[in-house]
Amino acid sequence: IRPRLHLEDATRAPMDFLHPFIQNVQEISDPYGPELRPKFRICDTMGLGLPFEDVALPRSIPRIFQEMRKLGLQASDLEFHPHNDTWLVVANCLAAVRAGCSVINGTSLGKGERTGNAPLEAILLHLIGMGYYREKQPQFPALNELVDLYAEMHEPVPPKYPLYGRDAHRTRAGVHADGLNKFWWMYAPFNVPALLNRPLEVSLTKDSGLAGLIFLVRQHTGRDLPKDDAHLQRAYAWLLHEFDHGRQTSVEWEEIAPILDLA
């Protein structure tokens, strides 16, 4: 069994303690050969690490891993176990990979103790953008089933959660909806439907204008209506009336479709 050493709270540990500890472990393990060489898990237990080389140790994530490599540890010997207490978990993971760490410990969809462990879907997305996984990419649509399962378990993914939240790819602004109508790549970070199997969406509000309505019609019926279409104008007049009289909630397709009456 290959041992793994869990360096708890490493981003608050003095390096003059970590160095001799790791070296002693290496000396003890040398007689057992490379197959039983220990792995070292660097833990940012309270999320205090920073993804920059120009900050002091032990808070600098890249410098910690650079120090580990100087001690003779290979990338395959190193893991990173981060937390998101101060919002930097994704950046810290990417910095760790760039500094020579081969394994990231994480979860899916922001789960984990306190504020969560590293969201692996976010790490993988950025690693693809950095040139990793050229031959075979992760299957991101598989997490859509997990989103549904969490909802059934009364632990839903927050609406604003990146990539998989209900509102992650939804706009309520007319200028954005108009951009989606004319050139949808303008208001998408990447090919969301292809990579995630999730749609780009528009919710109708007082700010979404005719462009939002046109987008919804195209999305749900495949029809491109001109702005002066009678059905469109009637539905838009109804929308304006709703919001002029105090409505605060957005209007979804199921509510506006009967008013459009496009059958």
Q: Is 219 exposed, middle or buried (0-12, 13-18, 19+ CB in 10 A)?
A: middle
Single residue among 137, 160, 184 that ends a domain in this structure? 137
The residue with tokens 């046109």 is 214
> Does residue 163 lie within any of the structural domains?
no
> Does residue 148 lie within any of the structural domains?
no
197-218 mean pLDDT: 92
Q: Is 17 exposed, middle or buried (0-12, 13-18, 19+ CB in 10 A)?
A: exposed
137/190 Cα distance (integer angstroms): 15
> Does residue 239 lie within any of the structural domains?
yes
Q: Are residues 51 and 101 in the same domain?
A: yes
Predicted confidence (pLDDT) at residue 263 exceeds the cutoff of 70? no
Q: Are residues 197 and 98 in the same domain?
A: no
Phi-psi region of 28 (alpha: psi -120 to 50; beta: other; left: phi over 0): alpha
**42 contacts 68 by C-beta, under 8 angstroms:** yes
- pLDDT at position 261, please? 84
> Does residue 161 lie within any of the structural domains?
no
131/261 Cα distance (integer angstroms): 48
What domain range includes position 187? Answer: 170-260
Domain count, the chain: 2
CATH number at residue 32: 3.20.20.70
228/231 Cα distance (integer angstroms): 9
> Does residue 251 lie within any of the structural domains?
yes
The pTM (predicted TM-score) of the whole model is 0.89
> Does residue 69 lie within any of the structural domains?
yes
Q: Are residues 50 and 126 in the same domain?
A: yes
Q: Are residues 174 and 108 in the same domain?
A: no
pLDDT tens-digit map of 66-112: 999 999 999 999 999 999 999 999 999 999 999 999 999 999 999 99
> Does residue 125 lie within any of the structural domains?
yes
Q: Are residues 99 and 204 in the same domain?
A: no
pLDDT tens-digit map of 167-188: 999 988 888 888 888 888 888 9
> Does residue 153 lie within any of the structural domains?
no
202/172 Cα distance (integer angstroms): 6
Closest CA to 206 of 180, 227, 236: 236
